[in-house]
Chains A and B, each alone.
Chain A
């Protein structure tokens, strides 16, 4: 079956712009989580959605937001981009608590 699909793979944006990243989980997976990965901070948890509800949120400013649709696809939005937002954004889906997350290939965002 298809894995977790993230689009786009690469993005270059200018400071102050906003961006929307998309994630399609594995079919049947209702949990979708987002992570930001940078060389200095490692993997930082952004938020998790389950059945269209945000269940948990990491320590990121309100510029970072997300949502999940009825088909479990999820989007993440970052407004008023800053240079420090440059990172690899990873989406992961899971079928349950006792199973590992399956990650997508990520979206590499560069803010210039």
Chain B
């Protein structure tokens, strides 16, 4: 089974509108972390937001929020008030492991978001 599933290969959103990018994950670990990254056409991966499996509240970072539904194993990214500069690939990732040192991060295949003026 895929560890991280992003079912939307591409999304369009009107400027200033909100958009939700879907991500579901699969793990048997009790402790894990979920990340979202943005990759513009320049290629650099930009960290957006982090959600720990034990965090009770949804993570928020400016216009980004993570809709964490643990029972459904979903970690959707919500971008509010979209801007043209938000056009990029977005990757959901999961960190499995423990504080003992083992750590593995798996990325989804990404969703290409295009913001329309």
Binding site for B on A (CB under 8 A): 31, 33, 35, 42-43, 45, 48, 50, 55-56, 88, 90, 92, 97-106, 108
Give the 4 A-B CB pairs with smallest separation, nearest first. Answer: A100-B47, A103-B45, A43-B107, A42-B109
Q: Is A50 within 8 A of B101, CB to CB?
A: yes
In B68-117, the 8 Å CB interface with A consists of 91, 95, 97, 99, 101-110
Query: Would you mind naming 16 contact pairs between A and B with Cβ atoms under 8 Å apart?
Result: A42-B108, A42-B109, A42-B110, A48-B104, A88-B43, A97-B99, A99-B50, A100-B47, A101-B47, A101-B105, A103-B45, A103-B46, A103-B47, A105-B42, A105-B43, A108-B43
User: Closest CB-CB distance, B32 to chain A, in whole Å?
Assistant: 10
In whole angstroms, how far apart are the Cα atoms of A52 and B35 in the complex?
25
* Contact (Cβ within 8 A) B103 A102: no
**Cβ of B110 and Cβ of A31 under 8 Å apart?**
no
Docked pose: A50 CA to B47 CA in angstroms: 20
B33 adjacent to A98 (CB under 8 Å):
yes
Chain A residue at minimal CB-CB distance from B108: A42
CA distance A9 to B37 in the complex (A): 21
Nearest A residue to B51 via CB reads A98
Whether B56 is near chain A, meaning CB under 8 Å from some CB there, is no
Return A25 CB to nearest CB of chain B, in Å: 14
Q: Is the interface of A mostly helix, strand, loop or mixed?
A: strand
- In the complex, are the beta carbons of B97 and A45 less than 8 A apart? no
Contact B102 A100 (CB under 8 A): no
Q: Are B103 and A106 in contact (CB under 8 A)?
A: no
Q: Are A100 and B103 in contact (CB under 8 A)?
A: no
List the B residue with the shortest CB-CB distance to A3.
B44
Which of chain B's residues have a CB closer than 8 A to the CB of A105? 42-44
B12-55 residues with Cβ-Cβ distance < 8 A to A are 33, 35, 37, 42-50, 52
CA distance A108 to B33 in the complex (A): 28
**Cβ–Cβ contact A100 & B101, under 8 A:** no
Tell which of A33, A90, A103 has the most Cβ of chain B within 10 Å.
A103
Given A42-B108, A90-B45; A31-B37 close (CB under 8 Å):
no
Of chain A, the residue at the smallest CB distance from B32 is A97
